[in-house]
Structure 1
């Protein structure tokens, strides 16, 4: 039977591309590449390109047939990026992303708005890039993310699902596939939230693939979230997600959001501390 997958496309743009005003911006499971706390092996460098320093307007294109409950979870996460919530919050997590600057010393913006939504029922875990002005007339950074429940449930939904290629699930799963309960009730969409966060952090710090990344190959950069794959709390690394919170139902989370939402979002590389970091860190 043919499986119909759902995708979400997030579009952003720079103020200084006037033709982009219709989109306006005003002005996989893997072992962590480094254990939490390690900085010896990381050489993250700035390559003189822009970061998203002006307020960001996000535009979502929903591909496929979406469950409205799943859409609401994604919207609330995006609203949480610039909204108050109990500590540690999604906005607190974004403060680490904001530490990155461009060559003028301007930090990544803290103003992120969900400004429009579009639907396309025609129908990678996630990636980001940008459009080419020679082709479409404008440069627009974007992030493309597939619904983890259908696209890659054993990889993009980690740590709520155990990857099939990783062998036998740990004893805590009682032989099943689930290794941590999802805070919003769906392993697919909760896993997708962390992928969205990952791509937003990287498209903001390396929108034209010439700003912040590690490695010598700009066609395959290791970016600020790539450095912390699989890390969600203190002590994480080598396949262990780290210390995270559990609610009264046993659902795992590390960040608070709007409307009482809770999310589990991977850490990103902190350029000041020179290690992977999140606001739920124990040290």
Structure 2
């Protein structure tokens, strides 16, 4: 771990994780939304183009790439917060490093729009990409946190519907098991520097509502993980969601699929978005190498 990462994880534990236990959904959203859409200066080589995908707002990020490859990026936020603006800097970093256009979009958020809203929205955007001429052979799906779970659930639905699957996918710190989080079910419950189990247990019911949290469309770790494209999973060694990452990897391996699990020592949740620590760029570079290697396959 870098010195910056070591200091950051200490501060997260003191001022984020330790102050989030016992908060209601409304209190969590108030805290998160204060920093969710912090304005960042857009690099001169980055072009952002708004797009309407039915009723959903989307945005293309272009770094002047030389290919027609596309990254379909699904952001995180516990299914209840964050927007594509929150992760613009991640999108433009992927656009540069993968040499591809990146499509981000805003799915409907709980608790105002519980399941299946976000799930339906992700699948609708994937269909829209195919209908507008994007080749699945030139597409990479990336999702982080709740977006990682949503990306995996979407891939299962794409497979089951008979639609063509993308070339590959990366899941970053995926939240893919929305059942009750305890120290027994989450071995890293006390080690995570950012996320307290109480936060997971507050946000999860707001999303799944009247449905079972074991529904594979909600918690894809309980789904049949056969027949998926190659998948890279990146997670921090102390994350409470390491359980989810390892469960996904085991399920894909048991189904004779292709999966790479990278456990990054000491990294906090979705460190890819923390662009002032060196491990952020390193992780996105590794994601890009995985993507480019699969996009180059005949």
User: TM over 0.5: same fold?
Assistant: no
Structure with the bigger RCO (C-alpha within 8 Å, sep 6+) is 1
TM-score, L = length of structure 1 = 0.30
Which structure has the highest helix share of the two? 2
